[in-house]
Amino acid sequence: MPKINRYVDIDTVERESKKDYIDRHSPFIHCEDSAKAGEMFQVTVKMGNEYAHPDDFDHFIANMSLFNGEALLARADFLPGALGNIKAHATVTFHIVPTGSKLNLVAQSYCTKHGVWESTPVEVKVTQ
C-alpha cells in the first residue's frame, strides 16, 4: 500500500519551505455543510491553499479523487501540461447526489513525485 501523506497544522512546521511543500501537495475540500438527499450537490477540491503546485513533465498532479468514507465517488485525471506548464492550483468541481444521513468526504491527490496526499475529512449533513 502506498504511503498516504496528510496535511499537518502549518503552525507546527518551523521552516517556510516545509509549509510550502505541505500546503501545495494537500487537497482541500470546499462545499456547503449540508445537502438535500437526492439533489445534486457541488464539491470542489483544490490543490493547495496558499501555494501552487508545479505542472512539469516529471512533477505534476496526476489525479484527484473524492471519497465518501471508503467509497470512491469521483476521480479526475490530469496529464502534464494540463495547467499550462506553470505552478497552479489544480481545481475540480464534482457534482454528486447524496444519500443517507451524512457524507464523510475525503479527497486524495496523487503527485507524480511525492505520492498520495489526503485532505482533512469534511462531514456534510444530508437532509430529506
Where do the domains of the chain lie, and which CATH numbers do they carry?
Answer: 4-127 (2.60.40.730)
Instruction: Map grid coordinates 501523506 to a residue.
Output: 5
pTM for the full predicted model: 0.88
β partners of residue 29: 45
Total residues found in the chain within this entry: 128
Q: What percent of the chain has pLDDT over 90?
A: 80
8 A C-beta contact, residue 91 and residue 69: no
pLDDT 10s digits, 9-56: 656 656 666 788 888 999 999 999 999 999 999 999 999 999 999 999
pLDDT-wise least confident of 8-17, 42-51, 58-67, 97-106: 8-17
pLDDT surpasses 80 at 8: no
Average pLDDT over residues 66-76: 97
Mapped onto helix, strand or coil, the DSSP state of residue 116 is strand
- Phi, psi dihedral angles at 94 (to 5 degrees): -95, 145
